[in-house]
Amino acid sequence: MTRGWDVLLIGGASGVGKSSIAYPLARDHGIPVLEVDDIVCALKAVTTPAEQPELFFWDTHPAPHKLSIPAIVAQGRALSAALQPALEAVIGNHLETDMPVVIEGDFILPVVATLDAYAGVPAAGRVGGLFVLEDDPDQIAANYRSREPAAGDQAKRAAVSVAWDAWLRAETARLGVPTVNARPWADAVVRAAQS
């Protein structure tokens, strides 16, 4: 299988199956996967809520579970925007060092896959983007229950993912960033590789 990118960004809403596509794709190419959650953890270790309030929002908000679904989606977009400079620096480093990588996570904005340069390093067609789509809240809730059996009711969390998915569908269409439907799972990796 040929690879038309050096850095592949795999985004999508939480619980849609990004990891189930990212890891097999990376394995097929013999390259590592970097999870955006790891970047968040690293940044939180070296900054403070005062310096980066979006990174710490869920740790500092008095009742985040009471927020409306649109408010949670807006917060997700704000966190994604706050992460973008760090993500661009990581992408630029991988381009500069010729170290291919798949970067996977909830907080990747589609626009990040369309930039001409990353931390001053020209993209030169070496960065690809792929967003995994799933708009069935029951399926997303089932995905959560499968990986986190003790987490309890996942209806609101799944509804947030569906709302985030709707925004991603519009944004990827506007920007011309490739997408792939999460299901059917049996051929999702093959379809992703062909996107």
- pLDDT value at 1 more than 80: no
The residue-averaged pLDDT of 142-152 equals 86
Question: What predicted TM-score, i.e. pTM, was given to this entire model?
Answer: 0.96
- pLDDT value at 150 more than 90: no
Q: State which H helix or E strand residue 164 sits in.
A: helix 155-175
Task: List the chain domain ranges.
Answer: 7-194
Question: Within its chain, how far is the Cα of 105 from the centroid?
Answer: 3
If you compute the radius of gyration of the chain from its CA atoms, what whole number of angstroms results?
16
Sign of the dihedral defined by the CA atoms of residues 44, 49, 51, 55, in that order = positive
Q: Over the stretch 40-97, which tens digit does the pLDDT of each residue have?
A: 999 999 999 999 999 999 999 988 889 999 999 999 999 999 999 999 999 999 999 9
Report CA-CA distances (Å) from 35 to 30, 71, 120, 145, 167.
Answer: 16, 24, 22, 21, 21
* Domain 7-194 -> CATH class: alpha beta
**Residue entry with tokens 């995994």:** 132
Q: Rounded to whole angstroms, how far apart are CA atoms 8 and 91?
A: 9
Q: Rounded to whole angstroms, how far apart are CA atoms 195 and 50?
A: 41
Q: Over the stretch 7-18, which tens digit does the pLDDT of each residue have?
A: 999 999 999 999
